[in-house]
Amino acid sequence: MSLLVVGSLALDTIETPFGKAERTLGGSATFISVAASYFTQPVRLVGVVGGDFPKKELEYFEEREIDLEGLQIVEDGKTFHWHGKYDYDLNNRESITTELNVFADFDPIIPDTFRKSRYLCLGNINPELQKKVYLQMENPKLIVADTMNFWISGKKEALIDVLQHINVFILNDSEARELSKEANLFKAAKKIQSYGPKIVIIKKGEHGALLFYEDELFSAPAYPLESIYDPTGAGDSFAGGFIGYIAKTDDISFENMKRAVIFGSTIASFCVEKFSLDGTRDLSHLVIKDRFNEFTRFSAFEPAEL
Ligand code: AMP
């Protein structure tokens, strides 16, 4: 089934205790569309880059059959630049700089051919832009949205407005606490559901994820990794794997969303093993399936009598 992804395309500077990468490929739409492209076709991308965006990366998107008809290239502008720094607790990061550049004037125009996409994934961008996107869509089956603390603190009202119109909201534990003003994640999820989305997914970094589906709950484990190199893009890769699998199966039931959460976690686990997009750039169905199966094996247990 068709999937439209809208979000940031970035040149990131990333510092972790294990190394530094400068002006490397990043952005929410990048990680989401690449992750989703392992599951479903067509994946359509809407975003904006400057003239400094490497041509070879555009070719890479095309090789993955990601449709770039909706990509705007501002030749005399600079691509969005984000500089993030992590300490040894890789769940915590600091945004050193966020230079919106061409994103500051971005008007997301959805090409006619994209408006009927069955699935829409709104990556982490200004919620005012997220709204402009869904208003142009013609009756999508499911809208998934992601965000980050930058928008929760800077554009809370606009974000709450977006939440009324989406079906699935994905955020991490600290964002859920900040948005809901609830310390407890169950209470936080219930409050966020009351803003609109009946399905809320709270990611807990290396501790897994919680899927709140109306009144049901699924607690997903994390894949136990021996080495984590760079967490950048893990959340977006999760969202891409999740919505990619939902779009492939065209099934939005609770049971299927549980599998989608595990596929999302699977792609996120590849993402963090290497710097920026290197962890997910070149996967195969075989390695994804193997890790999904291992995931299942690591977390399965039999019911027991007491
Ligand atoms: P994640 O680690 O999944 O939360 O996503 C990291 C990506 O989000 C990086 O590649 C950044 O380029 C991008 N990013 C960081 N801040 C913002 C922002 N304020 N708006 C849009 N994208 C951002």
Do the domain assignments include residue 302?
A: no
Backbone region of residue 303 per phi and psi (left: phi > 0; alpha: psi in -120 to 50; beta: other values): beta
User: Does the beta carbon of 6 sit less than 6 angstroms from any atom of ligand 1?
Assistant: no
**What's this model's pTM, rounded to 2 decimal places?**
0.96
Count of structural domains within the chain: 1
Distance 298 CA to ligand 1 centre (A): 30
User: Does the beta carbon of 124 sit less than 6 angstroms from any atom of ligand 1?
Assistant: yes
Distance 27 CA to ligand 1 centre (A): 5
Do the domain assignments include residue 135?
A: yes
User: Does the beta carbon of 277 sit less than 6 angstroms from any atom of ligand 1?
Assistant: no
Is the pLDDT reported for residue 207 higher than 90? no
Do the domain assignments include residue 303?
A: no
Do the domain assignments include residue 188?
A: yes
Do the domain assignments include residue 66?
A: yes
Distance 299 CA to ligand 1 centre (A): 30
Is the pLDDT reported for residue 241 higher than 90? yes
Do the domain assignments include residue 74?
A: yes
Do the domain assignments include residue 305?
A: no
Distance 289 CA to ligand 1 centre (A): 27
User: Does the beta carbon of 32 sit less than 6 angstroms from any atom of ligand 1?
Assistant: no
- What is the pLDDT at residue 120? 98
CB atoms within 10 A of CB 116: 12
User: Does the beta carbon of 98 sit less than 6 angstroms from any atom of ligand 1?
Assistant: yes
User: Does the beta carbon of 10 sit less than 6 angstroms from any atom of ligand 1?
Assistant: yes
The answer to which of 7-21, 84-98, 256-270 has the lowest mean pLDDT is 84-98
Amino acid at 98: T
Question: Among 251, 234, 232, 255, which Cα is nearest to 243's?
Answer: 251
CATH number, domain at 270? 3.40.1190.20
Strand residue runs (E) in the chain: 3-6, 10-16, 19-26, 43-50, 66-74, 80-86, 93-99, 119-122, 142-146, 168-172, 199-203, 209-213, 216-220
User: Does the beta carbon of 175 sit less than 6 angstroms from any atom of ligand 1?
Assistant: no
Note the helical H segments in 164-217.
173-180, 185-194
Domain extent for 61: 3-297
Q: Atom 21 in ligand 1: which residue has the minimum CA distance?
A: 125
Q: Atom 18 in ligand 1: which residue has the minimum CA distance?
A: 125
* pLDDT tens, residue by residue, 268-304: 999 999 999 999 999 999 999 999 999 999 988 899 9
Contacts of residue 130, Cβ cutoff 8 Å, sequence gap at least 6: 6, 122, 145, 162
* pLDDT tens, residue by residue, 115-152: 999 999 999 999 999 999 999 999 999 999 999 999 99
Do the domain assignments include residue 63?
A: yes
